[in-house]
Chains A and B, each alone.
Chain A
């Protein structure tokens, strides 16, 4: 009861003001401020059949805009930072470990680098469900393909299978993937498959919402023909920088190195990473700082 009263008050006073004012002025009540009964009542009227095809889409857009306060036509930024980098002899894949549901961190140690075959892995970003399902399907197809082929699948085939699913279901899926691996024909290869299902082979790829902060970094720090250690350090540094600035990225840095010798998984907990601007050395307690000896006086 109390809630309904508040809603009515908001409607009276808040009309024409704030984020929802625009919709009132257009003669529409934002769904978030309707009571459940009113919403259900409106549903039959808002069937949209009379609005034609684009009317339906506009309806959907308005509703999503109101609910999520976002512009549907701008590309979705996806929580996560994922990176794939080729080096002289193989590839290094890296990712953060944060899975969020809205503002809550559902899993602070997730593994976003998923195995497709012995020699091909994929970094997942965007919707957790979508990316998991796509990887599961591709793993299944690749397994069959490997049996039929009689030898390990190539990275190109894996990437094309991902593209096939991403492209043909582009309206349903919200996931950006980076496929990386090693095969005996082409060596180490990285393929980026962003939203929409474009397949693009790159010497290095970045994805997820955290990647916005890394375009400049990679423009400056990337070079052709790095060694394995250089490449891995670059990836760890980059993910760590993205974690520092992107709220949707966090936790630990996981890397997977794939080359002719095999696959190596590495794990870098937050406290092993270097500190960036305005970050402080972690302490056990304030008491330790208070009890420690005071700093030396300056020698002027």
Chain B
């Protein structure tokens, strides 16, 4: 253990700033979340990794959680902030239930709440360091939206966070169509997750796929994807050009 200097350098004129909390940088982070609308509701996929810098430190982190009766929340970014968001949502759902009026918060309302929380924290220079994906079905209406740590929010037929935006969205733009069956949706998500596994350094080969329909939420058991390495050029990359990589 070190007797290191406190995080505030001594001759820094911080003043009242030192009392307020500011998440300046994330420590334990989750990588991409990918989600799409299908015939019966929403399908969402995320791996179970919690990275600590470049170390793949935690391999059993559930980054998707059900919210109330009608929503499913997936998060990437700082895990401690995600845990705090879950606490805020616990309170929100509790208050909603305590009205006991037969009404319950739908995915659109939860998404709006999260947007307000994220945007207001960003305005105070104290963001919750997460990118969130909120999906759900209420009264037959499917809803899929996303909020970033700076409060950018929108809804779409398919969304992704982090690397997923760059690697998964193009695949989804090409292959997604209305009224996908459950099997097609899962295959499409797995296609995206496999690419992320190949090309995202912080991805691990242990993922969960969650589905939310009018009936409720199901989060699959953790499982791994097979990967393909049998290209002849992989076995012998230097054949055509000695010294290449």
- The interface of chain A, by Cβ under 8 A from chain B, is 39, 43, 47-48, 53, 56-57, 59-60, 63-64, 67, 72-75, 78-80, 98-102, 106, 110, 112, 124-129, 131, 163, 167-172, 174, 192, 194-200, 202, 208, 212, 215, 248
A291 shortest CB reach to chain B, Å: 42
Query: Is B218 at the interface (CB under 8 A from chain A)?
Result: no
Whether the Cβ atoms of B53 and A126 lie closer than 8 Å is: no
Binary CB contact string for chain B from 49 to 72 against chain A (1 if under 8 A, 0 otherwise): 010110101101100000000000
Q: Given contacts A79-B1, A102-B2, A112-B1, are A43 and B27 in contact (CB under 8 A)?
A: no
Whether the Cβ atoms of B4 and A106 lie closer than 8 Å is: no
Q: Give every chain B residue within 8 A of A200 (Cβ-Cβ).
A: 50, 58, 60-61, 79
- Bound-state CA distance A78–B26 (Å) is 17
- Bound-state CA distance A112–B1 (Å) is 9
Q: Which range holds the interface residue count of chain B? A: 35 or more
Whether the Cβ atoms of A198 and B4 lie closer than 8 Å is: no
- Using CB atoms, name the residue of chain B closest to A129: B3
Whether the Cβ atoms of B80 and A171 lie closer than 8 Å is: no
A-B contact pairs, 17 of them (CB 8 A): A47-B13, A60-B12, A72-B25, A74-B53, A79-B1, A99-B3, A101-B3, A110-B1, A124-B1, A126-B2, A170-B23, A174-B7, A196-B26, A196-B78, A198-B79, A198-B83, A212-B55
- Using CB atoms, name the residue of chain A closest to B53: A75
Whether the Cβ atoms of A168 and B27 lie closer than 8 Å is: no
Query: Is B221 at the interface (CB under 8 A from chain A)?
Result: no
Binary CB contact string for chain B from 1 to 42 against chain A (1 if under 8 A, 0 otherwise): 111101111011100011001111111100000000000000
Q: Given contacts A60-B9, A171-B21, A198-B27, are A128 and B2 in contact (CB under 8 A)?
A: yes
B50 shortest CB reach to chain A, Å: 7
Query: Is B84 at the interface (CB under 8 A from chain A)?
Result: yes
A113 shortest CB reach to chain B, Å: 13
Whether the Cβ atoms of A171 and B1 lie closer than 8 Å is: no
Q: Given contacts A168-B21, A198-B28, A200-B61, are A100 and B2 in contact (CB under 8 A)?
A: yes
Whether the Cβ atoms of B80 and A127 lie closer than 8 Å is: no
Interface pairs A-B: 4 shortest CB-CB: A196-B27, A75-B53, A198-B80, A197-B80
B1 shortest CB reach to chain A, Å: 4
Query: Is B113 at the interface (CB under 8 A from chain A)?
Result: no
Query: Is B88 at the interface (CB under 8 A from chain A)?
Result: no
- Using CB atoms, name the residue of chain A closest to B51: A75
- The interface of chain B, by Cβ under 8 A from chain A, is 1-4, 6-9, 11-13, 17-18, 21-28, 50, 52-53, 55, 57-58, 60-61, 78-80, 83-84, 125
Q: Given contacts A171-B7, A198-B80, are A73 and B1 in contact (CB under 8 A)?
A: no
Q: Given contacts A63-B9, A171-B24, A196-B27, are A106 and B50 in contact (CB under 8 A)?
A: no
Q: Give every chain A residue within 8 A of B57 (Cβ-Cβ).
A: 194, 215
B237 shortest CB reach to chain A, Å: 27
Q: Give every chain B residue within 8 A of A248 (Cβ-Cβ).
A: 2
A251 shortest CB reach to chain B, Å: 12
B169 shortest CB reach to chain A, Å: 27
B206 shortest CB reach to chain A, Å: 13
Task: List 12 extra interface pairs beyond A63-B12, A198-B80, CB under 8 A.
Answer: A56-B17, A75-B52, A100-B2, A106-B3, A126-B1, A168-B21, A171-B22, A194-B27, A195-B27, A196-B26, A196-B78, A198-B79
Whether the Cβ atoms of B125 and A215 lie closer than 8 Å is: no
Whether the Cβ atoms of B7 and A167 lie closer than 8 Å is: no
- Bound-state CA distance A99–B236 (Å) is 50
Whether the Cβ atoms of A196 and B80 lie closer than 8 Å is: yes
A252 shortest CB reach to chain B, Å: 15
Whether the Cβ atoms of A127 and B11 lie closer than 8 Å is: no
Q: Give every chain B residue within 8 A of A47 (Cβ-Cβ).
A: 13
Whether the Cβ atoms of A125 and B61 lie closer than 8 Å is: no
Q: Give every chain A residue within 8 A of B1 (Cβ-Cβ).
A: 78-80, 98-100, 110, 112, 124-128, 131, 208
- Using CB atoms, name the residue of chain B closest to A132: B1
- Bound-state CA distance A88–B53 (Å) is 33
- Bound-state CA distance A53–B22 (Å) is 12
Q: Give every chain B residue within 8 A of A192 (Cβ-Cβ).
A: 58
